[in-house]
Every structure is written in structure tokens, then in C-alpha cells.
Amino acid sequence: MSKYRSVRGMVDIFPEDSRHWQFLENTVAETLASYGYGEVRLPIVEYTELFTRGIGKATDIVEKEMYTFDDRNAESLSLRPEGTAGCVRAAIQAGVLNTPQRYWYAGPMFRYERPQKGRQRQFHQIGAEAFGVASPDMDAELILMSARLWRRLGIAQGVELQINSIGSSESRSRYRSALVEYLNQYVDQLDEDSQRRLQSNPLRILDSKNAGTQALLENAPDMSEFLDAESADDFSILCALLTAAGVAYTVNTRLVRGLDYYNKTVFEWVTTRLGAQGTICAGGRYDGLVKQLGGRDTPGVGFAMGMERLVLLLAEMGSMDMSSAPVADVYVVAVGDDAYKVALSTVESLRSEMPRCRLVQHTGGGSFKSQMKKADKSGAQVALIWGEDEVSAGTVTVKPMRVEKESGERLAQQSCLLPELPAVLSAALTID
């Protein structure tokens, strides 16, 4: 085995799996486009300051998880750990925030975390961001859009929506003080991470997975008691809109997000079917981020979904055929140099006439028997066979490999003239 291996937590995705990703990507793209969201493609590398300023210096991402390095100009760059900050930067730089905008993006993100099922150091997200609308109907649209996506993917029964409002920066500051005052009574009983967060980022303690810490939080102050009037009103409107649209939800007053830019609405779609990595989609409102990053004061709201976890959930719920896909619809067998030349030109014409058909031509020579073994292994429905007799007669032999008629009768092998081949193949093949 080669001494070269992929970096820990950064995995290869081969064709038998990438087709599941393509199905997910295509379904998401169609769904987002139907709501008027346009795709934006963003750089993987950004200046580190974009994340330290946007996400927050005291967050776990910035403190412990970013891949950061100096370039040859001694400028600090980072592999993107999330997509919102980069999307905001791009919108400000392009000068497009004078009117409402709806964008989506997809691609790899990077965080130095302990790899486990559904969590890698290079992971993939699809995100959606909406700028320029401050009212809760925009929050509702994003949630409804994600709910529609789960229905299209066939996983709606396996996910649950949790929502909360974390209010304005002022109301969060009041709550933060009350929470710290309460937890200071139990410092020695908190887990190590929560002790570290107590002064730097105490709201993140609400997310602790430690059972002892969660037990202490049962009697902690409730964030809903500290909400400002505007945030409370907006959250009430959002709940009413979701109820009117038939979207079930749970209000989780302990729900916070791990990034400093959030305010007001936060939400997560969670599942119990993937073990510890139960959040498949999360987001919320970030009305101050655009101004914080140097743009005009513009409200924003968005979400990001984890593709690795969604693919796992699709498999877990049986919402997608996870069996191995055939390599080809048609496998081309040619014995002899003359036969190969005729096959090559004919098959190239077929590719133009049948663009959705996967035509794989055997290369590397070999006997008729060995080529037919390859044809069978490819999973092809039909083999096209050229030999000396076919070349002389201007025909091709069409051999069904595993195609059955509706009656159950096996299609017979036949010889056909080359001009008739597209029609013969179209009748024989089943192409999704």
C-alpha cells in the first residue's frame, strides 16, 4: 500500500456514493430555485479576520477549529469553517445589497474536530441566505422551504423542527449576566468546557452534552423571560405563520447557535436516527452581521444543512436506493481492428442521438469471451457486438443482457442495420 493517505477527517467519495450526493444536490438546487434563490459560488479561502470578526473570537470555531495559515505575503488566511460570513462579504463587495437578495451556495467547509460518523474535518454544506427583509415572514419562508425539501427527499417523518428567539444584543446581555450569576454557584460541578465558556461565551453552555451540566441548567434562568418586546412579537408572528402553514415545531428555550452573529430567530432541524450528530440543518437571523463586516445596515437570515448527515439519513430511512448502480446502459464489444473502428464511429453518433444513454466502449482489446464478461460486470442492459461478420454486412448484433419485456419474455438477440440502431436501443432500454 502507498504511504500516501488522505488527511484524517477528509474522505474520498467514489462513484457508487457520489450518485447519492448528486441526487441530494439536484433536489436541493431545484427546491431553492423554486423559491427564487440563485446560486453563488464562493472562495474556499478567506482572510482570517472575516471569521474572527464575523463568527466571534470566543467561539469554539475560531478558538480551536479553524485551519489558519500565513500566505507568502504574511497575510493570515483561513479555510472557510462556514458559509454565511463569506456570502455576506461577497454581497457587500459586489454592492448588491441595495435591494433584497436570495442566495444559496454549496461546497466543502473545514473544521479541526474529532472525526466521527456524520462529522468530518472537511465536510460539505448547502446554505441559503436572504438579505434585506427584517420581518419574520422571511424567517418563515426559509423554514417552509427546508420543510418542503425534507418532503421531497422523503425524510420528513424522521426530522423535528426546534425554534427559539435569542432576542436583541441588549436582551442577550441581560440574560447572559443572569445565567453567569446562576452558574457561578455551581462552577465546581460544571464540565471542563463549560467552565472555560463561563466567562467567554456562557450561552454555549446551554448546548453542553454533559449530563451533569444539563441537570444544573434545569433551574437556570429562561431566555424567554429576558426577550425585548420586538423580538417577542416577531417570534409570536413566526410561530403563528408556521402553525398556519401546517409546520409542526417545538419551542426550545435552551436552543442557541454557536456563532456570535445570530439574533432573534434561531432554529434547528434535528433527528434521532443518526446518534450524537442529530442536527441536519440549522440557521437563524443575523441582522447586525452585514454592518459589522463593513456594509450598510442590512438584515439577514439563513440556514446551512450538512450533506454528509443528510446522505446518512436518506440511507437510514430508505428514502434512496443505496444499492450499487450499473456503470453502463450499453456496453460495446468489438473484436478486431476493423470492428473497433466501425464501433467507435457508430457509438459516437449514438452519443449525439441518445445523450442520456451511458454507452461504455470496451478498450484494451481481448477475446470476445473476456469482453462479454466485462459487459456483464458493467451492469449494462444491452451489449452491442461488432465482429468480422457485422463489419462485412454493415450490421451490429444487439444482445440483451438483463432486459425483460413487460410480459416477462426475454428480449431476443437480434442483428440490425446501423441506421435502425437508435430505434432498436430506445425500445430495448429502460433509462430513468
Cα–Cα distance measured from residue 323 to residue 326, given in angstroms and rounded to the nearest whole number: 9
Scanning the structure block, which residue is given the C-alpha cell 467567554?
Answer: 200
DSSP 282-327: EEEE-TTHHHHTTS-S--EEEEEEEHHHHHHHHHHTT-S--SPPPS
Pairing of strands 76-79, 101-110: unpaired
Q: Mean pLDDT over residues 218-241, rounded?
A: 93
Tens of pLDDT along 127-177? 999 999 999 999 999 999 999 999 999 999 999 999 999 999 888 889 889
Cα–Cα distance measured from residue 304 to residue 207, given in angstroms and rounded to the nearest whole number: 18
Name the DSSP letter for residue 404: B
Res 258: pLDDT: 64
Scanning the structure block, which residue is given the C-alpha cell 456496453?
Answer: 331
For residue 186, pLDDT beyond 50: yes
Res 22: pLDDT: 93
Q: What is the pTM of this model?
A: 0.88
Residue closest to 308 by CA, chosen among 285, 287, 277: 277
Instruction: Assign 333 to helix, strand or coil.
Output: strand
Measured CA distances, 236 to 209, 229, 239, 364 (Å): 29, 11, 5, 68
Q: Mean pLDDT over residues 367-385, rounded?
A: 94
Q: Are 384 and 428 in contact (CB under 8 A)?
A: no
Res 153: pLDDT: 95
If pLDDT is split at 50, 70 and 90, which confidence band does 427 have? Answer: confident
Category of 23 on φ-ψ map: left (φ > 0), alpha (ψ -120 to 50) or beta: alpha
Q: Which one is the CATH code of 330-428: 3.40.50.800, 3.40.50.620, 3.30.200.20, 2.60.40.1180?
A: 3.40.50.800
Residue closest to 165 by CA, chosen among 101, 212, 229, 216: 229
Cα–Cα distance measured from residue 89 to residue 212, given in angstroms and rounded to the nearest whole number: 40
Fold of 15-167+227-316: BirA Bifunctional Protein; domain 2 (3.30.930)
Mean pLDDT taken over the chain:
91
Instruction: Assign 36 to helix, strand or coil.
Output: coil
Residue 420's CB is within 10 A of a number of other CB atoms, namely 13
State the DSSP H helix or E strand holding residue 207, giving kind and residue range, or none if neither.
none
Cα–Cα distance measured from residue 66 to residue 75, given in angstroms and rounded to the nearest whole number: 15
Res 410: pLDDT: 53
The residue ranges of every structural domain in the chain are 15-167+227-316, 330-428
Helices (H), 35-73: 48-54, 60
